[in-house]
A = this chain, B = another copy of it.
Amino acid sequence: MIKDIKQEKFGFKIIKKDSKSKARVGRITTVHGVIETPSFVAVGTQATVKGLSPKDIKEAGVQLLFGNTYHLHLRPGEDVVKKFGGVGKFMGWNGPTITDSGGFQIFSLGQKKIKILQEDEEANLVNIADDGVIFRSHIDGSKHTFTPEVSIEIQKKLGADIILAFDECVPHPSTHEYTKEAMQRTHHWAPRSLKAGQGKQFYPWKQALYGIIQGGIYKDLRQESAKFISALSFDGIAIGGVSVGESKKEMRDAIDWSMPFLPSEKPRHLLGIGEIDDIFDAIERGIDTFDCVIPTRFGRYGIVFVSPQEGNIKNRFRIDINKTIFAKDQSPIAKDCLCYTCQSFTRGYLHHLFRAQELLAYRLASYHNMFFINDLVKKIRKGILNDEFAKFKKQWLSL
> Is the pair A76, B352 in contact by a Cβ cutoff of 8 Å?
yes
Which residues between 359 and 399 of chain A lie within 8 Å of chain B, taking CB atoms?
Answer: 359-360, 362-364
**Residue from the list B46, B51, B84, B358 in contact with A48, Cβ < 8 A:** B358
Which residues between 123 and 161 of chain A lie within 8 Å of chain B, taking CB atoms?
Answer: none
**Residue from the list B52, B71, B345, B360 in contact with A52, Cβ < 8 A:** B360
CB distance from A79 to the nearest CB of B (A): 9
Give the number of copies in the complex: 2
Interface residues of A (CB under 8 A from B): 46-48, 50-55, 71, 75-76, 80, 83-84, 90-92, 327-328, 330, 340, 344-346, 348-349, 352-353, 355-356, 358-360, 362-364
> Is the pair A346, B48 in contact by a Cβ cutoff of 8 Å?
no
Cβ–Cβ < 8 Å partners of A328 in chain B = 80, 83
In the bound complex, what is the Cα–Cα distance between A328 and B348 (angstroms)?
A: 43
Cβ–Cβ < 8 Å partners of A358 in chain B = 46, 48, 50
Cβ–Cβ < 8 Å partners of A83 in chain B = 328, 330
In the bound complex, what is the Cα–Cα distance between A360 and B345 (angstroms)?
A: 20
> Is the pair A327, B75 in contact by a Cβ cutoff of 8 Å?
no
Chain B residue nearest to A346 in the complex (CB): B84
**Can you spell out 5 A-B residue pairs with CB atoms less than 8 angstroms apart?**
A46-B356, A50-B359, A53-B364, A55-B340, A92-B344
Cβ–Cβ < 8 Å partners of A346 in chain B = 84, 90
